[in-house]
Amino acid sequence: MSKPGWIAFIVLMTAIAGWSVYRDIHIEQQYPSDLRNRVVGARLEKDHASPYFYTWKAGDPVRYYDPSNWQQPGDSTMVSNITGTPFLHHLMAPIADLPQRTISRIWLLLEYIGFAACVIIALGMAVSRRQKLVDVADSALFLLTEAWISHITNGQYYLAVPLLAFLFYRFFRNPAHPLNATVAGFCAILLVLIRPNCIIFFLPFLLVIPKYPVRYR
């Protein structure tokens, strides 16, 4: 790629990233509903109450209020909408008692830190300049997709899945040092505890485990 081409590429990628951040800051201000779900779940667990059988009723503490999870008088059929795992709620415990707006801002920041980490790991595993260019371009364009916008709009945590999967693969593919096995195993445990159905992701790796050194295993 020529020098003018590089300049145009960098300017375009920077513009896309800048616009995405600007757009998402405004989206975040519109109340990410699923984030409230996780916050209430974390607060209930901190207070030693089960979030999976709880629906807010008139007279309950406001700290547990979720517009999508409240029971009308006389309605006993309402089912809790809290679906995060206990481990996810524990991870959120350090920020769970902050005001919702503050948590929402922190959450948006964490989303972009996690996204940037995914991009950096992908760039580190790329072996050619062309692959790196594709990684950057695809990452920038992903910020314009409905998937990413919906993720921000709802305050989801699903970015943790590819981030931990990236980290797991990054360390699993290099068996030269047992420390890599420790980090890979730690990422695998975190991923399954946050999203139990992700255990399916690890099944293919069982086929290559016998090829690894005994100490690594």
Location of structure tokens 């667990």: 45
Q: How much is the pLDDT for 67? A: 85
Please calculate the CA angle 91-95-98 and round it to the nearest 5 degrees: 155
**What are the residues whose beta carbons fall under 8 Å from the beta carbon of 165, sequence distance 6 or more?**
187, 191, 198, 201
**What is the mean pLDDT for each group of 10 consecutive residues in the chain (217 residues)?**
73 90 92 90 93 86 85 64 91 94 94 95 89 91 94 93 94 82 92 94 87 77
Measured in degrees and rounded to the nearest 5, phi and psi for residue 177 equal -135, 135
Q: How much is the pLDDT for 76? A: 59
Q: Which residues are paired to 56 by β-bridges?
A: 70
Q: How much is the pLDDT for 209? A: 81
Q: How much is the pLDDT for 181? A: 87
Q: How much is the pLDDT for 73? A: 56
Q: How much is the pLDDT for 77? A: 60
pTM for this entry: 0.87
In 3-state terms, what secondary structure has residue 70?
strand
